[in-house]
A = this chain, B = another copy of it.
């Protein structure tokens, strides 16, 4: 047993003993409504950044809030033991999704509430897991090491951003402007999930994202549908006609060129995923569904991890109040996201979508776009020493081997870190399928929170030893 192994046990005990204080710090962060999408919450975003800076300063980091064109970043550095060991960059985000619709929350979204669940106590709040809860696991791990040893076992830098939920528009310029300062050997990110509450996971495959808002304009003002129906273009009719054509009857996306770069999953990968015994019926049953949507003839995990998708995330136009109004609206809007797989070029997908719309655009309709996200999919190498170190730490904590998983979501920073800083990411997160990030009632299991802290304590030691 090495000296670090000995210390790790002491640090784990210290973390367990101070779990309540760690929970309280996490709650303090959850109480700040740092909704990056809503301009009214800009000051709350700044407050969350300042809060994180303060936390890091308390435990030996040189930490600063740094301005960007949008919400600020927090950057912090800890020298660790001061030797020539590895240098880790912990990335996370302090911003959260909008809490709406508010009426579907059983408790206020920015007042963390502990409730009983089938796996013990859980914490309900916007950001409970995504990403404030997960960030809090590694902040607590740093604090535990600092409390026991006065330092960290490895050199650590921290980058927290405040625009992850709106497509990280300022992140890449910030990475470019601070390329030298942020250089490290590997990035550690906790913004993903486990296989289940007892089976940890390392995510090695992430889907990319194109997020675009489309506006279709027709007549120059709202019209009486009785007077004009049958003669005037109705932009809502036209928008449903165009977007209703997004998928063919087999669930394949009809954007031109969409699948040109999509590789089939290797037979070996397909076998591995099949061996996981993923229960799609249970997965869908948890949300009140029983029939898988998506591409026909494709296995469930392949659909979730290795196939691109197109979802309309919002749509609106015309009269949406109570009762009836016989109006032909002047315009109609929709927000769409495409999840991408490796080798798909986000810009090519966006261009293809614009072509798809243009080919179906009725005479007189005008179209406008706003783009809120463009990120390619990611394949993380699974044979690195970083992955080996993280596997060892997770196996010790959970008493079983972690799975190497795909993830349907997108974490654009992984691509930016690779392109701008030449750095791979180690994606180790503690979320569960039913945590409901982005939904009303978002939660994080207290058990996952504690195991996340303990896992990060172990990982800091394992990664230091490489």
Contact B303 A231 (CB under 8 A): yes
A237 and B247 in contact, given A220-B288, A319-B314, A328-B313 (Cβ under 8 angstroms): yes
A313 pairs with B288, CB closer than 8 A: no
CB atoms of B221 and A287 under 8 A apart:
yes
Q: Is the CB of A98 within 8 A of B321?
A: yes
Residues of B within 8 A of A426 (CB): none
A interface residues, tally (CB under 8 Å):
103
Q: Are B318 and A313 in contact (CB under 8 A)?
A: yes
Q: Verify if A183 is at the interface (C-beta below 8 Å from B).
A: no
Q: What CA separation (Å) do A196 and B439 show in the bound complex?
A: 54
A223 to chain B, nearest CB (A): 6
Q: Shortest beta-carbon distance, A317 to chain B, in Å?
A: 5
| Interface flag for A44 (CB, 8 Å) | no
Give the oligomeric copy count.
2
Give the docked Cα–Cα distance between A337 and B318 (Å): 12
Of the candidates A245, A315, A323, A407, the one having the most CB atoms from chain B within 10 angstroms of its own CB is A323
**Interface check A244, CB cutoff 8 A:** yes
Query: Can you list, as one digit per residue, whether each of A249-282 has a CB less than 8 Å from chain B (1) or not (0)?
Result: 0000000000000000000000000000000100
In the complex, which residues 198-251 of chain A have their Cβ closer than 8 Å to any Cβ of chain B?
A: 207, 209, 211, 218-234, 236-237, 239-247
Most buried by B among A242, A408, A441: A408
Q: With A240-B243, A289-B218, A409-B224 as known contacts, state yes or no: A232 contacts B327, CB within 8 Å.
A: no
Q: Would you call B224 and A293 a contact (CB within 8 A)?
A: no
CB neighbors of B among A166-211 (8 A): 166-167, 193, 207, 209, 211
Expressed in whole angstroms, the minimum distance between the Cβ of A37 and any Cβ of chain B is 4
**Could you pull out 28 A-B pairs where Cβ atoms are within 8 angstroms?**
A37-B324, A100-B319, A104-B221, A104-B222, A166-B324, A220-B289, A222-B438, A224-B439, A225-B311, A225-B337, A225-B438, A226-B339, A228-B287, A229-B339, A230-B307, A231-B303, A233-B289, A234-B293, A236-B311, A236-B313, A237-B243, A237-B246, A239-B240, A240-B334, A244-B245, A291-B364, A314-B320, A320-B333
